[in-house]
Structure 1
Amino acid sequence: MSYFYLDPWISRHLCQEIPEFICMDGTVMKLKDVCNGKLDCADGTDEIKDLCYHIICPKNMYRCHYGACVPTSARCNGTPECADKSDESQCGRTKNSCDMKEFRCLSNECIPLELLCDGKTDCKDGSDESKNTCEELPCPPHSYHCRHGGCIHFDSRCDGVPDCIDGSDESEALCRSLKCSTGSCPIDGQLKCPPILSNRMSAVCQVKEGPKKGLIACNKPMPPSTIVRYECKQYYIPSSKLQQNNTQMICQADGTWNRDMLKCDPDCGKTDLPAIPLIVHGQIAEQGRWPWYAALFTLEDGKWIFWCGGSLISELVIVTAGHCVWKVPPDTMKVALGKYNSDLNTNNENAQIREIKKIIIQPSYQDQIGNYGSDIAVIILSSPVKFDSHVRPVCIDWNLHDISAHLKEYSMGHIVGMGLTEDETFSGILRKTKLPVVSNEECMRHQKRDFRKYITYTAFCAGWRNGTGVCNGDSGGGLVFPKSTNDKVWVLQGIVSVSPRKTGTSHCDLNFLTVFTKVGLYVNWLSAVLNTVHPERFKSLNDNAAISMSIFEYN
């Protein structure tokens, strides 16, 4: 390969009238042999990505994954001619597959992973440089993190040529700040990086250079060269596999961090304590066994009365039934977590009591007029709860992986509540039971004729028809299933909605089945709501979460 294939970066840093290249081990070789696919340096430093990835190959040559150029005839000829052997990868792949070292564009073509988030659009649809693809991708050392998420070489900053797809490497703020860092303007002229305000992780911040060198507070803007080392707090975990190695970030000269901050999710659906004889003919639920259970209380005649159940899914969010909060002002309700009795005034050292800031009801819910379809709502707490062994969230299957598996006939779900017992009085303590899922066809056959209208696509049935099940006061409670066989992680799939009543009474009739709302049908709506409460985390769950937010709210 002749040196005229090199782009301006290589020319600027290697050529400069120097006809030779010096390997890291001291070996001297001809410059024209750099990035030609062959390992001429004994240590291989003439064929590495940092050196070769800026090269633009002529149309008659094939670009190796790490950037080197080899003849097009080398592609899939049975003899590796790229140092990384990428010219012989994917030679027999199917039309719709990509190699493990490749990225599949949304437009279906495959590109080398090395081209992902490098500031240049390689996919026809630009998906290799989109913010969704690049925002969590960490940059290698001695590189600049573009604002949209891509990575470029340090020396490409402020060189007059935009290398970031968003042009942030040539921004006025960055270039001015770089001049400041060389001493051409006062130190106070430097831009600062945003503070660390997440309550889901622990962080240590240290300035490595300058007059303020040393440890500093993380909750205030930080100067360039600040290194932040962090980890998720107890009861939280990294939000993805990509985040598991995200342990630190550095403040760049333009006041931006060199990578996306660590994102932590609640370590949901787990319990630290074993389970204790709902619910009718159920068992006593041991404290700490179901830490996501939320007891809803309403104010009646100056007294707080137990009203419904719910499930905690984040520090600020409870999921319950729409009919539990239909036309109920938030200031007439309270939520108790970690509380295992129905008396709000009873002391409980593990309980966390919260007032309600807002109630958001699913837009399609119309209460009795709509036959209780889409019977689901969200309660936003006035202040966040603190996760511990008695208060932790249940999981939501955001990707809908388990909705069909969990709701197959005879699948066994678990539920807790403090509703009516076999004595037709409200339980003073939390009780639990197991309920099998029943097919809609079977449910229709065994329900009262005038009750069948409540069995819709948005709901499913569960129960025994033998006097054991959920009853008045258990509404809004969550039916949970293990995430997988022998798994100790619990996923919320159903919400207690409606059940037939005994003739001449307002009490449930447990000789019939109970109808539950399918949580899995509403994950997009839930993520849209959560995005308004936790925008720093939930925005990436579903960018299509600009779902109808013409919601019923009570402020």
Structure 2
Amino acid sequence: MEKSYFLVPILLLCLFIEDVVSRRRHYRGKSSDVKKSYNKIVGGYNTTIQDVPYQVYLLLQMGTDYYQCGGSIISERYILTAAHCLTGITRIYIRAGSTLADSGGTQYNTSRYRQHPFYNPMNSDYDVGIINVPSGITLDGVNTRAVPLPKAGTKINNGTNVLVTGWGDTTENGQVSENLMGVQVPTVSNEECRRSYSTLTSRQFCAGVPEGGKDSCQGDSGGPAVETDTGTQLGIVSFGSGCARPGTPGVYTNVPKVRRWIKMNSGV
């Protein structure tokens, strides 16, 4: 599936983040990414921020263009997301504490972020980044709360159910969602996943159902994949071939495998 670029016109400097964040678009891919689709929620259900208070909406500015991604609160000052969401970005607008993408909650903005130095855009290896919010995010424990992270080296067993959330497309080549959505999918073995993605690395894992119909999609990139039993974030939405296709799971960054880098750069 070839990626499209969704552009918005330049905004006047006097417009505040409420106006900026209302102009939602997918994150981009590259024209050479014929099969790769930087991901959304398909086959899921409406949820609320109270159910996933660690989820944040990101609007990323590159020059005069804006792109959508997701992220997760890992502390008062740091958000976890995908490295590919941050490439070439000049400013990041954040909405935290809201079920809706275009209103509610609290808005923050920053230009401070880091991508993993080994991030490889060709195969999405080490697809992890952190965003620093110097002013701090107000964590009220109800609408905003940090998500627990696993210890480095934690094994992700096959068949582990993860909850993936975001405001991305609800069908392949579809429209982004205004309401926060979630979908639960089981992890699959890397051996099985390599039938669809031959370049899969040990810093990645896959999740999906054989019959398709449930997946993340465009606009969900960078969002969390959280183990349903423990509430621990095991993955970061990275990419997939199309969305929710049969026999084609979504690919996620394996958080335990990049845990030391997260700790070193965020203190979390």
TM-score between the two structures when normalised by the length of structure 1: 0.39
Corresponding position: 1:377 with 2:129: yes
Q: Partner residue of 2:48?
A: 286
Corresponding position: 1:391 with 2:144: yes
Corresponding position: 1:463 with 2:208: yes
Corresponding position: 1:422 with 2:184: no
Q: What amino acid maps onto 1:279 in structure 2?
A: I
How far apart are the structure 2 equivalents of 1:397 and 1:298?
Answer: 27
Tell me, what secondary structure is at the counterpart of 1:480? Answer: strand
| Structure 2 stretches lacking a partner, 5+ long | 1-39
Cα deviation, residue 479, structure 1: 0.6
- 8 Å CA contact 1:498, 1:514 repeated in 2: yes
Cα deviation, residue 398, structure 1: 3.2
Corresponding position: 1:356 with 2:97: no
Shift in alpha-carbon separation, 1:298–1:429, aligned structure 2, 3 A:
same
Q: Partner residue of 2:265?
A: 529
- 8 Å CA contact 2:214, 2:244 repeated in 1: no
Shift in alpha-carbon separation, 1:428–1:306, aligned structure 2, 3 A:
farther
Provide, for residues 3-59 of structure 1, a one-character-per-residue CA deviation record: whole Å limited to 9, x for no partner: xxxxxxxxxxxxxxxxxxxxxxxxxxxxxxxxxxxxxxxxxxxxxxxxxxxxxxxxx
Aligned-residue sequence identity (percent) comes to 28
Q: What amino acid maps onto 2:222 in structure 1?
A: G
Cα deviation, residue 306, structure 1: 5.6
Provide, for residues 246-289 of structure 1, a one-character-per-residue CA deviation record: whole Å limited to 9, x for no partner: xxxxxxxxxxxxxxxxxxxxxxxxxxxxxxxx611210012311
How far apart are the structure 2 equivalents of 1:523 and 1:441?
Answer: 23
Superposed, 1:120-139 pairs within 5 Å as none
How far apart are the structure 1 equivalents of 2:261 and 2:43?
Answer: 35
How far apart are the structure 2 equivalents of 1:352 and 1:367?
Answer: 32
Q: Partner residue of 1:510?
A: 245
**CA RMSD for the aligned pairs?**
2.0
Cα deviation, residue 301, structure 1: 8.6
How far apart are the structure 2 equivalents of 1:418 and 1:395?
Answer: 21
Provide, for residues 367-394 of structure 1, a one-character-per-residue CA deviation record: whole Å limited to 9, x for no partner: 22xx110000001113101111100000
Q: What amino acid maps onto 2:100 in structure 1?
A: N
Provide, for residues 156-202 of structure 1, a one-character-per-residue CA deviation record: whole Å limited to 9, x for no partner: xxxxxxxxxxxxxxxxxxxxxxxxxxxxxxxxxxxxxxxxxxxxxxx
- 8 Å CA contact 2:152, 2:257 repeated in 1: no
Q: Partner residue of 2:35?
A: none
Superposed, 1:47-446 pairs within 5 Å as 279-299=41-61, 307-329=68-90, 331=91, 333-343=92-102, 346=103, 348=104, 351-368=105-122, 371-388=123-140, 389-398=142-151, 400=153, 403-404=154-155, 407-422=156-171, 424-445=174-195
Tell me, what secondary structure is at the counterpart of 2:194? Answer: helix
Cα deviation, residue 341, structure 1: 2.0
- 8 Å CA contact 1:320, 1:376 repeated in 2: yes
Q: More strand per residue: 1 or 2?
A: 2
Equivalent pairs counted in the alignment come to: 225
Cα deviation, residue 328, structure 1: 1.2
How far apart are the structure 1 equivalents of 2:201 and 2:111?
Answer: 31
How far apart are the structure 1 equivalents of 2:110 and 2:99?
Answer: 20
Could you say which structure has the larger radius of gyration? Answer: 1
Provide, for residues 472-492 of structure 1, a one-character-per-residue CA deviation record: whole Å limited to 9, x for no partner: 11111111114xx5xxx5111
Tell me, what secondary structure is at the counterpart of 1:390? Answer: coil
How far apart are the structure 1 equivalents of 2:257 and 2:150?
Answer: 10
- 8 Å CA contact 2:152, 2:258 repeated in 1: no
Q: Partner residue of 1:62?
A: none
Shift in alpha-carbon separation, 1:420–1:312, aligned structure 2, 3 A:
same
How far apart are the structure 1 equivalents of 2:237 and 2:107?
Answer: 22
How far apart are the structure 2 equivalents of 1:364 and 1:342?
Answer: 31
- 8 Å CA contact 1:357, 1:382 repeated in 2: no
Provide, for residues 51-90 of structure 1, a one-character-per-residue CA deviation record: whole Å limited to 9, x for no partner: xxxxxxxxxxxxxxxxxxxxxxxxxxxxxxxxxxxxxxxx
How far apart are the structure 2 equivalents of 1:300 and 1:367?
Answer: 17
How far apart are the structure 2 equivalents of 1:338 and 1:310?
Answer: 12
How far apart are the structure 2 equivalents of 1:525 and 1:434?
Answer: 27
Q: Partner residue of 2:7?
A: none
How far apart are the structure 2 equivalents of 1:293 and 1:399?
Answer: 22
Provide, for residues 376-426 of structure 1, a one-character-per-residue CA deviation record: whole Å limited to 9, x for no partner: 0001113101111100000012354xx21xx21111111111111137111
- 8 Å CA contact 1:374, 1:517 repeated in 2: yes
Cα deviation, residue 452, structure 1: 1.9
Q: Partner residue of 2:5?
A: none
How far apart are the structure 1 equivalents of 2:220 and 2:145?
Answer: 20
Cα deviation, residue 326, structure 1: 1.2
How far apart are the structure 2 equivalents of 1:399 and 1:458?
Answer: 12
Shift in alpha-carbon separation, 1:323–1:306, aligned structure 2, 3 A:
closer
How far apart are the structure 2 equivalents of 1:298 and 1:364?
Answer: 22
Corresponding position: 1:499 with 2:249: no
TM-score between the two structures when normalised by the length of structure 2: 0.78
Tell me, what secondary structure is at the counterpart of 2:241? Answer: coil
